[in-house]
Amino acid sequence: MDFVAYNEILICEKPIRNEIVAGKKIGYTFEIRYPSYRGCYLSCIEDLKFEIDGQEIAKEKIAFSLNGKEFTISDLPELNHEYWYVMKPATIRVQQIGGIAPGDHTLRVYMKHRVPYTGYFGQYLTLISDRTETLAAEQ
């Protein structure tokens, strides 16, 4: 049986926000939380995927912002000194010219992550967190 008790906190219930630079929408942002009662280092995230309205977002278009720093998804496996505290949301920034249309959108977040304090005899507990929520996008 998979442990899914904390999946419900994975997606923050805040609106999706368009990013506007010089009067033009260049993308959008939303927030996620680490789905556990303990934090972890970003290197423990083995896979992280996002879908909006059933379409997977290309990893090259995603920036992961935490602790005042911004990373690409491909940076995460090397970030063994960057800690994600459970009460601190990460901002996900998606590059998309024109942003996202106002209204409701379905967001799915999939995360495969190692639980760092379970590493006994070289074996770590690996969890899958998978959550879908409907969030409103602001104009």
In this predicted structure, what is the pLDDT of residue 4?
Answer: 67
14 domain-assigned: yes
CA distance 22 to 40: 37
Q: What's the pLDDT at 3?
A: 62
pLDDT computed for residue 1 by the predictor: 42
Q: Could you tell me the pTM of the whole model?
A: 0.92
> Is 1 inside any structural domain?
no
Q: What is the pLDDT of residue 43?
A: 96
Q: Over the chain (139 residues), what is each successive 10-residue block's mean pLDDT?
A: 72 96 96 92 96 97 97 96 95 97 97 84 86 93
CATH number at residue 95: 2.60.40
- Among 40, 9, 35, 33, smallest CA distance to 117 is for 40
The Cβ of residue 90 has, within 10 Å, a number of other Cβ atoms equal to 18
> What local confidence, expressed as pLDDT, does residue 51 receive?
98
Q: How many domains does the chain have?
A: 1
Print the domain residue range for 57: 7-137
